[in-house]
């Protein structure tokens, strides 16, 4: 059937359309089972005991992007008249995990057989270049194959799938560390690929010819290289989808929670692996650009990374000296904000920055100035409770736009209350948005979005930016409002939150236990 890139795109598009349909209805329960994809709705209920015919699903060459209930073997078995609607939805969710793994394995196999093992490419690439470009993809493919065989065996045991999350759990714990190795190499991989395209015309020519092969279905080489990172992230979401549909307090819920927890650990390790290298390089680069007018502060640290940097306008003189002559009123300063430290500079010749003040991030406070007229629009007060001279200091700062002002204020003082509720407040309703266009973060305070991501809206600006919190992993950041569609139906918003709380309830109980131990 489909390559994984096609499968994934079609699946997320259907998820978006289903949510649009639900959002347009008065009651989300009005959506009929035939209208829902396997990615939506709530669930519960167990299947009645019955042993219908077995099905060699993955060996069936006619099996393409079907729903479980549309398979001829399922329809001919009569099982659809026995199972409850909620159990059918659960079967669809488990079936999607299995068939998407088959599609993923097919794409991985193409990456290896069509690109990596191409004789012309082998002659062009040095062994070290090939290693950086393809990393441990053979290990990843071997793990996927073993995983797929176990999933296939489970599907073939009974036409009504008993569970898949126990298999996910075992493979995540025992084998999925290969994903961390592959994804952590991503920065090197991207850099090497760009360098090879630039430096080796023969490489560029062969890759272009291989991409034109009908096997690739118009997909780029780079879309194959990124497959493992996309898959491990998507696998976590597929387990979340199953978790939303299993019976509460059941063995299947317990298994799904365990699988989800282990997958989340792997995904976090993958993200950290990618960030670690780029952060270290960035910190070294910043350190070289700074010259200290005050007592020097060591910038490079394993536990420090950049959150935001940029130019702001500082108001000169005391507040009482405000005038409308804004060109003289403000002068440029440059801020480097790290996760634990703020450094305030002035740019000097030679792409250097002279540091004249600093403060721990935890000792920063911000305050917005309102109704001050056009000349003082987008102005806020930054207070350093203890600066480099061990004194309190205040700066009146002007940003270039409303969104830039809000982005700085939230970055400088992350615990400051936002316009709308946060996920952790557990309120019944909150503005929400679903992503309908993917977005790649351009700045450290922005959030990359995948199709069908659902986010709580924490803040928004008049010039088209949203500060959001993604429900499935609680990651926060800014993104353009044009990337999503607001979810208007309050019942759908409540359902999204309810499902999210359920998925993360094991995390909550763990946090409560930890808090109890800390208090003791």
Model pLDDT, residue 507: 58
Task: Tell me what the mean pLDDT of segment 133-158 comes to.
Answer: 96
Is residue 442 domain-shared with residue 507, that is, in the same domain? yes
Is residue 132 domain-shared with residue 249, that is, in the same domain? yes
Q: For 471-490, write each residue's pLDDT tens digit.
A: 988 899 999 999 999 999 99
Is residue 279 domain-shared with residue 299, that is, in the same domain? no
In a domain, 48, yes or no: no
At a CB cut-off of 8 Å and minimum separation 6, what does 460 contact? 419, 466, 467, 481
Tokens of 74: 């399922």
In a domain, 408, yes or no: yes
User: How far is 176 from 229, CA to CA, in rounded Å?
Assistant: 12
User: How far is 341 from 412, CA to CA, in rounded Å?
Assistant: 10
Task: With both helix axes pointing from N to C terminus, report the angle between 4-24 and 227-243 in degrees, rounded to the nearest 10.
Answer: 40
Task: With both helix axes pointing from N to C terminus, report the angle between 177-184 and 186-199 in degrees, rounded to the nearest 10.
Answer: 40
Model pLDDT, residue 342: 97
Q: How far is CA 283 from CA 183, 288, 428, in A?
A: 21, 9, 41
Model pLDDT, residue 506: 59
In the predicted structure, residue 49 carries a pLDDT above the cut 50: no
Model pLDDT, residue 70: 87
Rounded to 10 degrees, what is the CA torsion of 44, 47, 53, 54? 50
In the predicted structure, residue 50 carries a pLDDT above the cut 80: no
Is residue 341 domain-shared with residue 480, that is, in the same domain? no
Is residue 209 domain-shared with residue 260, that is, in the same domain? yes
Q: How far is CA 490 from CA 22, 23, 428, 493, in A?
A: 11, 9, 9, 5
Which stretch of 45-54, 93-102, 174-183 has the lowest confidence by average pLDDT? 45-54
DSSP element (H, E) containing 512: helix 505-519
Last residue of a domain, one of 412, 443, 461: 412
In a domain, 520, yes or no: no
Is residue 188 domain-shared with residue 119, that is, in the same domain? yes
Tokens of 432: 């929400």
Q: Which of 107, 73, 80, 94 is nearest to 151 (CA)?
A: 94
In a domain, 34, yes or no: no
Q: For 198-252, write each residue's pLDDT tens digit.
A: 999 999 999 999 999 999 999 999 999 999 999 999 999 999 999 999 999 999 9
The CATH number of the domain where 306 resides is what? 2.30.29.30
Model pLDDT, residue 415: 77
In the predicted structure, residue 319 carries a pLDDT above the cut 60: no
Query: 345 with 356: CB under 8 angstroms?
Result: yes
Tokens of 104: 């993923």
The CATH number of the domain where 139 resides is what? 1.20.900.10
In a domain, 46, yes or no: no
Is residue 199 domain-shared with residue 89, that is, in the same domain? yes
The pairing of beta strand 364-368 with beta strand 379-384:
antiparallel
The CATH number of the domain where 470 resides is what? 2.30.30.40
In the predicted structure, residue 57 carries a pLDDT above the cut 60: no
Is residue 440 domain-shared with residue 347, that is, in the same domain? no
DSSP annotation of 113 reads I
Task: Tell me what the mean pLDDT of segment 57-82 comes to.
Answer: 74
Q: Which of 437, 473, 439 is nearest to 456 (CA)?
A: 473
Percent of the chain with pLDDT over 70: 83
Mean pLDDT of all residues in the chain? 85
Query: 345 with 353: CB under 8 angstroms?
Result: yes
Q: Whole domain around residue 374: which residue ranges?
A: 293-318+328-412
Is residue 439 domain-shared with residue 407, that is, in the same domain? no
The domain total for the chain is 3
Q: Is the pTM of this model over 0.85?
A: no
In a domain, 517, yes or no: no
* 405 confidence band (pLDDT: 50, 70, 90): very high
Last residue of a domain, one of 366, 384, 412: 412
Q: For 333-381, write each residue's pLDDT tens digit.
A: 999 999 999 999 999 999 999 999 999 999 999 998 876 666 678 999 9
Model pLDDT, residue 31: 43
* 500 confidence band (pLDDT: 50, 70, 90): confident
Model pLDDT, residue 107: 96
In a domain, 195, yes or no: yes
Is residue 198 domain-shared with residue 117, that is, in the same domain? yes
Is residue 123 domain-shared with residue 162, that is, in the same domain? yes
At a CB cut-off of 8 Å and minimum separation 6, what does 477 contact? 441, 445, 446, 447, 448, 467, 468
Is residue 382 domain-shared with residue 492, that is, in the same domain? no
Q: For 269-315, write each residue's pLDDT tens digit.
A: 998 888 887 888 899 999 999 999 998 888 998 889 999 999 999 98
* 387 confidence band (pLDDT: 50, 70, 90): very high
Which stretch of 296-310, 314-328, 382-396 has the lowest confidence by average pLDDT? 314-328
DSSP element (H, E) containing 194: helix 186-199
In a domain, 9, yes or no: no
Query: 245 with 93: CB under 8 angstroms?
Result: yes
């Amino acid at each position: 059937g489909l390559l994984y890139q096609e499968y994934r795109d079609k699946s997320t598009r259907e998820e978006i359309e289903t949510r649009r349909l639900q959002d347009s209805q008065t009651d989300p329960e009005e959506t009929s089972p035939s209208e829902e994809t396997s990615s939506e709705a709530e669930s519960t209920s167990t299947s009645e005991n019955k042993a219908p015919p077995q099905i060699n699903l993955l060996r069936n060459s006619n099996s393409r992007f079907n729903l479980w209930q549309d398979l001829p073997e399922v329809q001919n078995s009569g099982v659809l008249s026995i199972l409850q609607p909620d159990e059918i939805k659960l079967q669809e969710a488990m079936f999607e995990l299995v068939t998407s793994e088959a599609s993923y394995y097919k794409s991985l196999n193409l990456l290896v057989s069509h690109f990596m093992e191409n004789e012309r490419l082998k002659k062009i690439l040095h062994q070290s270049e090939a290693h950086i470009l393809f990393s441990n993809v053979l290990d990843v493919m071997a793990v996927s194959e073993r995983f797929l065989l176990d999933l296939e065996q489970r599907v073939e045991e009974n036409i009504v799938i008993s569970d898949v999350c126990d298999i996910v759990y075992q493979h995540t714990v025992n084998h999925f560390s290969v994903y961390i190795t592959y994804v952590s190499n991503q920065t090197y991989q991207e850099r090497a690929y760009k360098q090879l395209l630039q430096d080796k015309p023969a490489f560029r020519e062969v890759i272009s010819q291989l991409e034109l092969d009908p096997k690739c279905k118009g997909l780029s080489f780079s879309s194959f290289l990124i497959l493992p990172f996309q898959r491990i992230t998507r696998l976590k979401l597929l387990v979340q989808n199953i978790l939303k549909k299993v019976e509460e307090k059941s063995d299947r819920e317990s298994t799904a929670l365990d699988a989800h927890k282990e997958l989340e650990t792997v995904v976090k390790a993958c993200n950290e692996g990618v960030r670690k290298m780029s952060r270290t390089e960035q910190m070294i680069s910043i350190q070289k650009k700074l010259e200290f007018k005050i007592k020097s502060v060591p910038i490079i640290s394993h536990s420090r990374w950049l959150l935001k940097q940029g130019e702001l306008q500082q108001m000169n003189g005391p507040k009482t000296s405000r005038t409308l002559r804004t060109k003289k009123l403000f002068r440029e300063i440059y801020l480097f904000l790290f996760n634990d430290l703020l450094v305030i500079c002035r740019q000097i010749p030679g792409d250097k920055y002279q540091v004249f003040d600093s403060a721990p991030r935890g000792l920063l406070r911000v305050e917005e100035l309102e109704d001050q007229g056009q000349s003082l629009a987008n102005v806020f007060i930054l207070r350093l409770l203890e600066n480099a001279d061990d004194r309190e200091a205040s700066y009146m700062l002007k940003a270039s736009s409303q969104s830039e002002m809000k982005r700085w204020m939230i970055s400088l003082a992350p615990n400051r209350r936002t316009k709308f509720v946060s996920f952790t407040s557990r309120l019944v309703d909150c503005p929400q948005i679903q992503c309908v266009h993917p977005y790649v973060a351009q700045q450290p305070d922005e959030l990359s979005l995948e199709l069908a991501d659902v986010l709580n809206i924490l803040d928004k600006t008049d010039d088209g930016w949203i500060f959001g919190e993604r429900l499935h992993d609680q990651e926060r950041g800014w993104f353009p409002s044009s990337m999503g569609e607001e979810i208007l139906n309050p019942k759908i918003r409540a359902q999204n939150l309810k499902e999210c709380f359920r998925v993360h309830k094991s995390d909550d109980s763990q946090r409560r236990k930890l808090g109890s131990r800390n208090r003791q």
